Structure 1
Amino acid sequence: MKVIDVSPGELRGYISSFVIVDEKVAVVDPGPESAYDKLRSGLEALGVKPDLIVVTHVHLDHAGSAAHLLKDFPSAIVFSHPRGVPHIVDPSKLYDASFKVAPILPRTYGKPLAASPERVFPAEDGKVLELGSSRVRVIYTPGHASHHMSLLLEPDGIIFTGDSAGVIFTVKGHEVMLPTTPPPFKPMMYVESIDKMASLKPRSIAPTHFGIHGDAMAWLERAKSQVTLWLKLIKGSSDHSYGVLEDLLAKNDDHVRSLLSDGEEFMIKGFLENTIDGLVDAVKRGEPLPA
């Protein structure tokens, strides 16, 4: 299994695309439209042509290059959560809506091409995609998005979490985990999805942001405890302004301190702010919170 860095522009170590090479070749999360040249070059370097494209969800940084792959590889097909299929076929509504959430994101990730509907298929919960000696099992994991699904590579025990269990960035040589909680965030679904993945006892975790990491069970536990702490802190704060909450989280979470002191601006502006917005929105809407 190979990792291609499809981070846009000059960014590095931000967005992974995973390539599973067996009798069939599968690409998990092809990445943003703006970085398609990096994906194509990576596939050429590996000497492979994709048969299957599987997207964990249809957000621009994960599925933006899917239709590009279909255009360049006529035998390839895409699998997505059923709710995501219409947005791969016609991404215009999703692209336009993303400007309302965080304008920096669509400007950075680019506008996806439309895909041919006859080449985009829904993947049901539990569906198994046979690749040869290996297979990919679909696991519905809502919370980050209602149409999110994670993928278990068997027999390797690698769980592709997309955005269902946070991100793991490397900042100045240190691994930094943060939740992935854009509005409209569903806290209980998010932690239940983490529990669902943990029940499968994966050995390695592969978040699209970024790379492959051992000790998956420890990372999943960290993801659950971290989002629970952040929600508790935000609910207990009388001031929900971004600067106040950023300081509050930094005082209570060394991963936030590391990101703020050494992380790239895009990781902070394009990611951390959106994450905090989703948590504040969930608290204000009175969403049930994990204990």
Structure 2
Amino acid sequence: MEPGDVSEVTIDGCSDLYYVDTGMYDTAGYGAAYVLDADRPTIVEAGIGTNYEYLLEALDEIGIDSEALEVVAVTHIHLDHAGGAGFLVEACPNADVYVPLVGAGLLAEPSRLVAGTKAAVGDQWQYYVEPEPIPDDRIVEIDDGDVIDLGNHELHVHGAPGHAFHQVIFDDPVNETVFTGDAAGIWIPDLERIKETSPPSDFDLEECLDDLETIRELDPNVLCYTHFGPRDVSDDLDEVLDEYATVLTEWVEAVDAKREELEADRAVIDYFVSNASLPGAWNERKVRAEAELNTRGVLDSLEE
């Protein structure tokens, strides 16, 4: 897929479901948002705000009028998942943003969220836009155990705080699909490879492993990754989740060991950035930026 492309999810058992490459960080195959053409039309994940027009164009291509959109549901308030929500509700007058309770206020008044994002992503901020504040009356707070009723579909809300304390995942039982946010890692379909995601400042390895067990208990046939795209796991869910548990655990152990060797955190970061490589996916700039962000997140967690 290329930025702006829209594809229907055709995995057996799925209906009414599409995904869009949002062109996040000027990189194809990194950021996805999902459109559920339900009785109450829904967008799951909103991107960073840049290229939010791709989502409006996707609605049009699918046959959903902007005035018909009712739900924009985000798994957490990191701006690569929620940064476009304000732009979407401006363009879609009947849509509300469904956002985890503990982060909702930061989307209504995003200045602290912007400051934290700038500190976390560094030079990558050039790919963002300042998010539009979301009016309080357009925000619906959600929490673990809630159900978003979409008519012929439902999104069941499950807490998944390992990546960020404000993260949830969504289970659509009709499609036997889980929208993973960042709880199941980064899936690179072109390489059939799963990668770690461990950004500052809330990453917690043990809680991440618990989140994988939450997904296992839901027993989906499809994982819809924000990074990137739908994945058929009907025959190998356990292997997929076990693989990410191993990838994430070994990644934390590698950072910890290098920290013991080099002592200075900056030296550890520079080591992993200089050795970052992902042939066949993204681009070198994004690969290096990802390595820095994930290393910093692990180092922060080791301080606790």
2:271 to 240, 244, 247: 244
Residues 1:198 and 2:198 are matched in the alignment:
no
Provide the rounded CA distance (Å) in 2 between the counterparts of 1:261 and 1:11: 12
Tell me the alpha carbon deviations over residues 152-178 of structure 1, each in whole angstroms, 9 at most, x when there is no partner: 1112111111111211124xx312211
1:130 to 124, 149, 163: 149
Provide the rounded CA distance (Å) in 2 between the counterparts of 1:153 and 1:33: 25
Question: Is 2:272–2:291's contact at 8 Å kept on the other side of the alignment?
Answer: no
Percent of aligned pairs with the same amino acid: 24
Q: Match of 2:168?
A: 149
My pick for the range that moved more, 182-191 or 51-60, is 182-191
The amino acid across from 2:182 in the alignment is D
Provide the rounded CA distance (Å) in 2 between the counterparts of 1:111 and 1:132: 33
Structure 1 residues 118 and 263, CA, compared in 2 at 3 Å: closer, same or farther?
closer
Residues 1:213 and 2:231 are matched in the alignment:
yes
Gaps of 5+ in 2: 1-16
Deviation at 1:23, TM superposition (A): 0.9
Cα RMSD (Å) of the superposition?
A: 1.9
Q: Match of 1:179?
A: 196
Deviation at 1:233, TM superposition (A): 2.2
Tell me the alpha carbon deviations over residues 210-258 of structure 1, each in whole angstroms, 9 at most, x when there is no partner: 10001144322221111111122222331252343468xx7xxxxx75x
Deviation at 1:270, TM superposition (A): 3.0
Q: Match of 1:42?
A: 58
1:55 to 74, 83, 96: 74
Gaps of 5+ in 1: 251-255, 287-291
Deviation at 1:266, TM superposition (A): 3.8
Q: Match of 2:111?
A: 92
Q: Match of 2:244?
A: 223
Q: What secondary structure does 2:229 align onto?
A: coil
1:14 to 8, 11, 30: 30
Structure 2 length-normalised TM: 0.85
Question: Is 1:50–1:73's contact at 8 Å kept on the other side of the alignment?
Answer: yes
Structure 1 length-normalised TM: 0.88
Alignment of 1:264-283 (within 5 A): 264-283=283-302
Q: Match of 1:253?
A: none
Question: Is 1:125–1:139's contact at 8 Å kept on the other side of the alignment?
Answer: yes
Q: Match of 2:4?
A: none
Deviation at 1:204, TM superposition (A): 1.1
Provide the rounded CA distance (Å) in 2 between the counterparts of 1:266 and 1:45: 32
Provide the rounded CA distance (Å) in 1 between the counterparts of 2:230 and 2:174: 16
